[in-house]
Amino acid sequence: MLADKKILLAVCGSIAAYKAAFFVRLLKKEAAEVKVIMTENAKDFITPLTLATLSKNPVYSGYFEKNSGEWHNHVELGLWADLMIVAPLSANTLGKMANGICDNLLLAVYQSAKCSVLVAPAMDLDMYKHPGIQSNLEKLTSYGNEIIEAKDGELASGLFGQGRMAEPEELLEIVKKRVTTGSRLKGKKVLITSGPTYEAIDPVRFIGNYSSGKMGSAIAKIFKQFGASVTVISGPAHHFASEVENIHVASAREMLNETKKRYNNADIVIFSAAVSDYRPSKPSDQKIKKEDGVNSLTIELIKNPDIAAEMGTKKENQIHIGFALETQNEESNAKQKLKNKNFDLIVLNSLNDQGAGFQGTTNKVTFFDKNNKEVKFELKNKTDVAKDIVSYVIENFL
Ligand code: C5P
């Protein structure tokens, strides 16, 4: 399956480095061409000879061979690879990758690489949780790199928790998926609506909702990682994908206008915004003042345009994906919306499921597609939900 694919494996100093030997064997069994780079610290855990023998290629570590003086061209190595995977990724190398430091060959190759870069961190559970580590991982995500999350289990320290590097079999599956299907999104234009909308009551007040923009920005990041060109039209959210084009709007009507302008160019449109269904019919020009003796105030609301439904009637050779956030009759409501709004896929999340919905970092979703296919997922973080959505699009619609 990986015949003629060029995989560059970068190994850092971590006890999980022993898994690199198994991983190289699995890659070679799939007929991949494998080259290995090691940091000096990695050599304390596994020998270059082991990885050179298994990969059938010399292992690279420094900028040049001490004996012959032969120079290892980092730019060439970076350009040679169809995919680079750093496994295991240590906290030290992560910190350097995240901050543009370049004091060894691995880092120089990383900074020169034009291909997809995947990283599989391995560290102790408290290190993994540390805000410095997490913010560095977020930085790598923002550079378009894919993080293969560390797993829960027994760690070298004897402690139990999240920090184990993913097993070689899992790494292989991810690499295969990336190399064989990832290119299908190259050059595709993805348009995403995200976040809440704010509907003015007066110049200082609005009707809005709790949407944070986490789901929409996670989807944007993953599409970008897969080589798509991404534009997000976002309401006043807290989360944005800095690596993509962001168009900022406030109200549903502004969101509709901006969507209309870009819609014809898009191959894939994701409607993940939580759009207000109604807006005040006559927003006041001036701040509404509290009046003595006036104990109630009625604001008349009128219906907002339904962006997904309007675009659904214009759809041509495009993939439309919508969301349904429900509190009751979840499945039938979602299926109705799939039909009414002409979606190819609808992602249902129910507020009855703990950890699902607005603001949190996790979501629990079920997919319903236009071909009556249904896939239920476990509770997972929003980045992983975004990966499921992107994989589904690649495997079913492209
Ligand atoms: O009907 P409901 O609001 O539950 O539909 C949800 C789906 O429709 C989401 O994909 C949402 O982004 C989209 N939508 C929209 N414009 C609206 C309301 C919802 O695009 N006015």
pLDDT of 309-318, one tens digit each? Answer: 999 998 889 9
Q: Is the C-beta atom of 323 inside 6 A of ligand 1?
A: yes
**Residue ID of nearest Cα to ligand 1 atom 9:** 323
158 vs 229, which has greater pLDDT?
229
Q: What is the pLDDT of residue 227?
A: 85
358 vs 46, which has greater pLDDT?
46
Whether 6-183 and 189-397 share one fold: the answer is: yes
What is the distance in A from the centroid of ligand 1 to the CA of 376? 21
**Whether residue 19 has pLDDT greater than 90:** yes
Q: What is the mean pLDDT of residues 31-46?
A: 97
**Residue ID of nearest Cα to ligand 1 atom 1:** 337
Give the Cα separation of 134 and 98 in Å (integer).
11
Q: How confident is the model at residue 158 (pLDDT cuts 50, 70, 90)?
A: confident
> Which one of 3.30.830.10, 3.40.50.720, 3.40.50.300, 3.40.50.1950 gives the CATH number of domain 6-183?
3.40.50.1950
Q: Is the C-beta atom of 275 inside 6 A of ligand 1?
A: yes
Architecture of domain 189-397: 3-Layer(aba) Sandwich (3.40)
Torsion of CA 11, 138, 27, 155, to 10 degrees: 60
Q: What is the pLDDT of residue 153?
A: 87
The type of residue at 112 is S
Q: How confident is the model at residue 247 (pLDDT cuts 50, 70, 90)?
A: very high
Share of the chain above pLDDT 90, in %: 78
Give the Cα separation of 110 and 97 in Å (integer).
8
What is the distance in A from the centroid of ligand 1 to the CA of 130? 37
**Averaged pLDDT of the chain:** 93
Q: How confident is the model at residue 180 (pLDDT cuts 50, 70, 90)?
A: confident
**Whether residue 282 has pLDDT greater than 80:** yes
Q: What is the pLDDT of residue 30?
A: 96
Q: What is the mean pLDDT of residues 237-256?
A: 95
250, exposed or middle or buried, with CB in 10 Å at 0-12, 13-18, 19+?
middle
**Whether residue 380 has pLDDT greater than 80:** yes
Residue pair 185/211 in contact (Cβ under 8 Å)? The answer is: no
Query: What does each C-alpha distance from 41 to 38, 157, 274, 371, 388 come to in angstroms?
Result: 8, 18, 48, 52, 35
Q: What is the mean pLDDT of residues 115-119?
A: 93
Q: How confident is the model at residue 265 (pLDDT cuts 50, 70, 90)?
A: very high
Q: Is the C-beta atom of 195 inside 6 A of ligand 1?
A: no
Q: What is the pLDDT of residue 355?
A: 77
Q: What is the pLDDT of residue 143?
A: 84
Q: What is the pLDDT of residue 62?
A: 85
Domain boundaries, the chain: 6-183, 189-397
Q: Is the C-beta atom of 324 inside 6 A of ligand 1?
A: yes
**Residue ID of nearest Cα to ligand 1 atom 21:** 306
Q: How confident is the model at residue 76 (pLDDT cuts 50, 70, 90)?
A: confident
Q: How confident is the model at residue 351 (pLDDT cuts 50, 70, 90)?
A: confident
**Whether residue 215 has pLDDT greater than 90:** yes
Q: What is the pLDDT of residue 75?
A: 78
Q: What is the DSSP letter of 41?
A: G
Please state, as a whole number, how many other Cβ atoms lie within 10 Å of the Cβ of residue 263: 17
Number of the ligand 1 atom closest to the C-alpha atom of 304:
21
Q: How confident is the model at residue 183 (pLDDT cuts 50, 70, 90)?
A: confident
**Whether residue 251 has pLDDT greater than 80:** yes
Which residues does the annotation mark as catalytic? 209
Q: How confident is the model at residue 36 (pLDDT cuts 50, 70, 90)?
A: very high
DSSP, collapsed to helix, strand or coil, labels residue 394 as helix
If we measure between CA atoms, which residue out of 5, 105, 1, 94 comes closest to residue 48?
105
Q: What is the mean pLDDT of residues 250-278?
A: 97
**Whether residue 383 has pLDDT greater than 90:** no
Q: What is the pLDDT of residue 156?
A: 83
Q: What is the pLDDT of residue 269?
A: 98
Please state, as a whole number, how many other Cβ atoms lie within 10 Å of the Cβ of residue 320: 21
Q: What is the mean pLDDT of residues 192-220?
A: 97
